[in-house]
Structures are given as C-alpha cells and as structure tokens.
Amino acid sequence: MSAQKPWQAVALTLFPEMFPGSLGQSLAGRALEDGRWSLDTVDIRSFAQDKHRTVDDTPCGGGAGMVMRPDVVDLAVCDVKAKTAGALPLIYMTPRGRPLTQNRVRELAEGPGVAVLCGRYEGVDQRVLDAHDAEEISVGDYVLSGGEVAALVLMDACVRLIPGVMGSDSSHEEESFEEGLLEYPLFTRPPEWDGRTVPEVLLSGHHGKIRAWRREQAEAITRERRPDLWEAYQQERAAKNDTN
C-alpha cells in the first residue's frame, strides 16, 4: 500500500519569488522541510506567447488599470492540472469572493491540496475563471496589491491543520471559530504584571471552573465583537436542542 501523498500547494503568480515567504519559517517551514506538505510556484508570465511576455491588456468597456489575459492564465492553469492530474481545487483570491471561513479551511486541509491563482492589476478575465470553475475566496473586505499575500493567508490556515504540523492535534481545538466562537483571553506567568493580575480562577487548578470561565469569556467576546457569529452560534445551539 503506497504512502499518502503530502498536502500540496501550488501558487500561480507573476511573482514566484514571494513564496514561501512566511511559510518557510517556524512550524510551517519545518513541516515543509520534513515533507509534510509541498509548495510549488508557477510563473504565469512564462506562458505568455509574444516576445514582450505580455500577460495583461486594457479592460473591455473601458476603465482604469489592466486585466490579466485569459489565454495566458489558461495555459498556466492547464499546466498545473496536467501535472497534478486535476486533483487540486483551483482557488482565485479576490475581494469579491466568499469570505474564507475555518470550516472551508478545514475542508481544504483534509483534501489533497490547493492550486491558488494570484491576480494582479485589476484582476483576471472572468472567462478563464468560469472555464476552470475557479472558487473565488476573499480574506477580508479590503483590497491588496495582489493575490500573493492572500494566498499565503489561505495556505497558512490550511497547513497548520495538517496532522503533525503543530506538534499536537489538540492545540487548535479551542481556537477562534473552532466552535463558532472567538477565543477566550489568554494569560501566562508572572501572575502579576504591571499591576495587573491573572484571573484567580485560572490559578485555582479547578478544571471545571476554568472551562466554564473560558466558555463565558468566549461567548461574551463573540457577542460583543461579532454579532454575526453570535447569532449563528445561537441558532446552531437552538437547532441541537430541538433534535435532542
């Protein structure tokens, strides 16, 4: 029986030198060196067909900026699909995409990997996105200079969920979003610093009271800072109660 292939990330980009970036450091970098996951870059410009290696053109209908050409991007995507047997979902990082969630990250981390298309200029011609059924994902309601930074965010979120990368599979179980809530406040030594003390319950050694305090804090913070998450959390709890 053959060993399972490591989780694979492929970045389609005009700036391959931006990778692995931060993913080459710390736990993700160590896991990359150990072969727990792999990262390849595809230089989109290398698929340009003219002597000037043109990858963009003016937008149809007018407007500012330039748009990445569908024919050039298509060649790059087809090359990735051929080399990966089409096993990797194609993701296009864009502010107009669906927000990246922990649930989607978990799904991607449990799969074979991702091929991430990094746009530049005003973006990528819609026809090539439609032709390859690209999933459009956003990392926030703001605009970046290009998709590379967003791609690193997506990859980082996935890589840390690969078994063995974080050292302990239980280390992420109580993080923000894992149960639909934001994470509770964290404290460490010394017990008193700058006139501020660690909550007594955390020093009590009473695990039941500690769990209850952390749950209360997580719920309060979520209710205050993310009403949308709090509403979804309440609805999920109500649905579970109805089925019990």
| CA distance to 68, 77, 232, per residue, from 57 (Å) | 7, 19, 43
Q: Rounded to whole angstroms, how far apart are CA atoms 132 and 92?
A: 11
- Under 8 Å CB-to-CB from 153, ≥6 apart: which residues? 100, 139
Burial 86-123 (b: 16+ CB within 10 A, else e): eebbbbbbbeebeebebebbbebbeeebbbbbbbbbeb
Asked if 19 and 140 sit in the same domain, the reply is yes
Instruction: With respect to residue 168, please indicate whether it lies within any of the assigned structural domains.
Output: no
Number of structural domains found in the chain? 2
User: Domain check: are 123 and 217 in the same one?
Assistant: no
Joined tokens for residue 2:
């053959």
Asked whether residue 207 falls in the same domain as residue 128, the answer is: no
> What is the pTM assigned to this prediction?
0.90
- The answer on 129 and 16 residing in a single domain is yes
Alpha-carbon distances of 212 from 174, 215, 216, 220, 232, rounded to whole Å:
13, 5, 6, 12, 21
pLDDT tens-digit readout, 208-231: 999 999 999 999 999 999 999 999
Task: Let me know whether 90 and 134 are in one domain.
Answer: yes
With respect to residue 1, please indicate whether it lies within any of the assigned structural domains. Answer: no
Q: Assess if residue 175 is contained within a domain.
A: no
pLDDT of residue 72: 98
**What is the three-class DSSP state of 27?**
helix
In a domain, 179, yes or no: no
Asked whether the beta carbons of 46 and 151 are under 8 A apart, the reply is: no
Tell me the pLDDT of the chain averaged across its residues: 94
Express each pLDDT in 17-38 by its tens digit. 999 999 999 999 999 999 999 9
pLDDT at 100 over 60: yes
- C-alpha 244/C-alpha 235 separation (Å) is 14
Same domain, 41 and 109: yes
Same domain for 155 and 196, yes or no, is no
- Residue 137 and residue 219 in one domain: no
Which has the closest alpha carbon to 128: 222, 225, 12? 12
- How far is 188 from 127, CA to CA, in rounded Å? 52
CA atoms within 13 A on the CB side of 148: 19
Residue 123 predicted with pLDDT over 90: yes
Clarify whether residues 126 and 203 are in a common domain.
Answer: no
Give domain status of residue 202, yes or no.
yes
Pair 151, 221 in one domain:
no
On the question of pLDDT at 60 being above 50, the answer is yes
Looking at the structure, do residues 139 and 216 belong to the same domain, yes or no?
A: no
So what's the pLDDT on residue 177? 80
Does any domain span residue 164?
no
| Residue 151: CATH number of its domain | 3.40.1280.10
Q: Rounded mean pLDDT of 43-66?
A: 96
Cα–Cα nearest to 222, from 186, 185, 181, 184: 181
CA dist., res. 165 & res. 72, Å (int): 35
Structure tokens at 63: 């407007």
Domain identity same for 11 and 128: yes
Q: Is 40 within a domain?
A: yes
The residue range of the domain holding 28 is: 7-159
Cα gap 41→16, rounded to integer Å: 6
The domain boundary, picked from 116, 141, 159, lies at 159
